[in-house]
Amino acid sequence: MPVSRFIDGNAAAAYGVKLCRPDVVCAYPITPQTPIVEYIADFIARGEMASKYITIEGEHSAMMATVAAASTGVRTFTATSSQGLAYMQEGLFYAAGSRLPIVMAVVNRSMGPPWTILAGHDDAIAQRDTGWIQLYCGSGQEILDTVIQAYRVAEDERVLIPIMVCFEGFVTSHCYEQVIIPDQEEVDSFLPPYKPPYKLDVEDPMILTTFAPPIHWMGYKKKHDEAMEAARKVIAEAEAEYAERFGRSHGGLFQAYRCDDAEAVVLTMGSLASTTKVVINKLRELGFRLGLLKLKSFRPFPREELKQLLGNVKAVGVLERNYSVGGWGGAVFLELRSAFYKVADGPRILNFVAGMGGRDVTPLEIEAVAKKTLRAAQEGKGEREVEWLLGEIG
C-alpha cells in the first residue's frame, strides 16, 4: 500500500531516488540540498537501499565520479545546488555529451555574490546550454513523482540524456507537507532495471567519449539535439503512463490551468505556479478571464506545444526567478518571445522578474502581474516589457 508521509521536499527527492534503486549515489553536500544526501546515506546505512554510496571531496569530482559510474551502464544519482552546480559545470557537459542518463536533483539557490543560500532558478538556468533536460517542480509530491519519471525518460533509447530535477531551495526543499510514497513493486513495474545500449565492460572493451575529428564532432551535437527533440514526446508519454498507473499528474512538459477561454495567461515555473493558481481562482471569480501555464520542462523547451496552446491568447505574463544580465529578460521570457517570432497576431509577451535571492513573491504581487498582463491583452500594449518585482526595498 502506498503510504502518506509528512516530509519536506528534500526527503521527497530522497524517497523518490530510493524507489528507483540506483546502483551508485555520489554527491557532495551543499545548502539547501544537503538533507537529500543525508537521507540517502541513512537509507543505505539502515540497509533499506542497496546503492553504493561514494563520499567525495567536491562537486566537480562528484559529477565526474557519477559520469564514470554511469559509463559502466549502471543507474546513478547525484544532487547539488547553486555554486556547487557551477563548480561541476565541466562535468555537466561531460555527462550530457556522453549521453549518460544520470538523474540529478538541483535544489535551486541563487548564485552569489551577493551571497545568499536562498531560492532562485538562476543557478540551473545558467546551465541551460550544457545539454541536460531540466524539469522544474513545485511541491514535494511533484518532486517524488518527477524523479521516478526522470529515470524512465533519461534511460529511454530515444533520449539518453541526463536530467536535472529542479526545485526551489527552502521554499520547496524545506517545506513539510503530505507526500504519498508509492509501492516499490509499482515503481519497479513502471521503471524496470536500466539496460544500457553501450557501456564500459572489461569483457567487451570499448572507448566512450573519445576524440571526435572535425568531420564528426558537429554530427554528435546534432544527434544530441535530435534526442532532445524526441524527449518532448517521451516526457509526455512517461507522464501519461505515470498518471494512469499512479493517479497523479503534474503535467509532462507543462500544465495548463483555466487557459481554454483565457484572454491572458500567467506563465511560471515551480512553486510560484502553486501560489499563482490561488490568484487565478480569485480573479476568475471576479470575472477576469485569466489562465495559468505552469512550465515544467525548460529543456527541452516545448516551443511548438506552447505556440499552439498560447496562440489564441492575447497576452502572456512570464513570471520567473531568473534573469539574463545584458539579455534584458528572464530566460523563459526570451525563449517564449523567440518562439513567437513571425507569428502573426501572437500574444503580447511581458516579463516579470521576481523571487531571486530568496525574495518571496506574494499573492498580491502575482495578482498585479496577472492584472497587468490582462490589461496588456485588452489594450494591446504593456506598461513595460520587463518589470522587476522589488516591492518597497530595492
Partner 1 sequence: MVEVRIHCRGGQGGVTAARIIGLASVREGKHALAFPSFTVERRGAPVMAFLRISENEILDRSFIYNPDYVLVFDSGLLTHPSVKVGVRESTLFLVNAKSRDEAEAIGVSRLVVVDALSIALEVLEVPIVNTAMCGAFAAASRLIGMEALAKAIREFLPARVADKNVEAALKAYWEVEAYGKNE
Given the rule CB under 8 A, which residues bind partner 1? Answer: 6, 8, 31, 117-118, 138, 170-172, 174-178, 271-272, 274-275, 277-278, 360-363
Measured from the CB atom, the residue of 6 and 328 that comes closer to partner 1 is 6
| CA 280/CA 367 separation, integer angstroms | 8
Rounded Cα–Cα distance for residues 23 and 14 (Å) = 14
Report the distance separating Cα 152 and Cα 150, nearest Å: 5
Cβ 157 to partner 1 shortest distance, Å: 37
- Total Cβ atoms within 10 A of residue 288: 16
How near is the Cβ of 352 to partner 1 at its closest, in Å?
Answer: 15
User: Which string of DSSP letters, residue by residue, matches 285-325?
Assistant: HTT--EEEEEE-EEES--HHHHHHHHTT-SEEEEEES--BT
Question: To which residue does cell 526551489 refer?
Answer: 168
Q: How many CB atoms are located within 10 Å of the residue 147 CB?
A: 25
- The DSSP result for 43-56, as a single string, is HHHTTS---EEE--
CA pair distance 163, 95, nearest whole angstrom: 10
Minimum distance from residue 276 beta carbon to partner 1 (Å): 9
Q: How far is CA 283 from CA 52, 279, 280, 382, in A?
A: 51, 6, 5, 19
Nearest in space to 291 (alpha carbons), one of 273, 270, 271: 273
54 bridge partner residues? 26
Tell me the angle at which helices 214-246 and 89-97 cross, rounded to the nearest 10 degrees: 90
Identify which of residues 187 and 290 has a Cβ nearer to partner 1 in the complex. 290
The minimum distance between CB 262 and partner 1, in angstroms, equals 18
Q: Which is nearer to partner 1, 299 or 321 (CB)?
A: 321
Upstream peptide bond of 114 is cis (omega within 30 degrees of 0): yes
**Which of 11, 297, 303 minimizes the C-alpha distance to 153?**
297
Q: How far is the CB of 304 from partner 1 (least distance, A)?
A: 29
Cα–Cα distance between 81 and 277 in angstroms, integer? 27
Minimal distance, residue 274 CB to partner 1, in Å: 5
d(CA 346, CA 307): 8
CA distance 385 to 259: 22
Q: Would you say 64 or 295 has its CB closer to partner 1?
A: 295
Q: How far is the CB of 294 from partner 1 (least distance, A)?
A: 12
| Least distance between partner 1 and beta carbon 256 (Å) | 16
Of residues 155 and 320, the one with the C-beta less far from partner 1 = 320
Closest separation in Å from C-beta 237 to partner 1: 27
Task: For partner 1, give the closer residue by CB, 311 or 363.
Answer: 363
Retrieve residue 297's grid coordinates. 520542462
Distance CA 269, CA 295 (A): 5
Indicate the residue among 207 and 393 with the shorter CB distance to partner 1: 393
Query: Which residue, 174 or 303, has its beta carbon nearer to partner 1?
Result: 174
CB of 74 to partner 1, least distance (A): 35
User: Of the two residues 176 and 328, which places its CB atom closer to partner 1 in the complex?
Assistant: 176
Decide whether 8 or 122 has the Cβ nearer to partner 1: 8
